[in-house]
Amino acid sequence: MKKLLIVNVGLPPKPQLDTFGKFEQWAKNVIEAHRHPIPANQAAIIEFHDGINQPLPHSDHLAGVIIMGSLAMASDKEDWMLRLSREIVDLVERSIPLLGICFGHQLIAQALGGKVGYHPNGLEIGTIAINKQPDAAQDPIFSDLPAQFDAQAVHYQSVLSLPENAVHLASSDFEPHHAYRVGECCWGVQFHPEFTPQVMKLSLAGLQHELPDDYERKQAAVKETHHARQVLVNFAGLVEQQNQSLGAA
């Protein structure tokens, strides 16, 4: 049975880790809460993987891959990041569905020729408004979302320039490259579809020292982000559909 692999590339801050567990568990929670019922023998098995210390399994065993967020910085290009970047290129060449979230979004863009670095205006954090770009109307995981929707975000680094062949899908007023697609089945999203409001509130609390004039307003503005969550659900659904099609073939 092929796997939907959720790749860990670092731990959350301790308050979030102690309360909610690891990043990959948050993503699994969203997928399992919203995935459509299908026969067990047709469902991709969700498994976690240590992307820092272990190479990815051979792509023949993968129905799809999600690379999570991290406190690491993609522009540091540590050895494990370079190895995972080579594996990203292989996944894209083999048309294995791939989704990167925050750090994962940045690492994929960098691996495929984009530029990653610190955002010139610093930290973006809180519940923010995401604006779809015109090409998102035909995108498999963005097309059913409204033109503007709320999402949770926390990041210092950004995709400063997209890979040459990327399709631009979404932005915020602060961050121009909140989502893109490369080819038919590789996506990056800077925002966090796996975050709950409770996670976002803890993230704000942990960075309160960087928000001396804005902390209370941002805490009060935190809300549910159902449409952002749908990006993760839609990706998992696409993986399931492709897995079933291959099984039928």
Q: Which two tokens stand for residue 180?
A: 């893109």
How far is it, in rounded angstroms, from Cα 114 to Cα 171? 16
Q: Which two tokens stand for residue 145?
A: 């979302």
Active site residues: 102, 192, 194
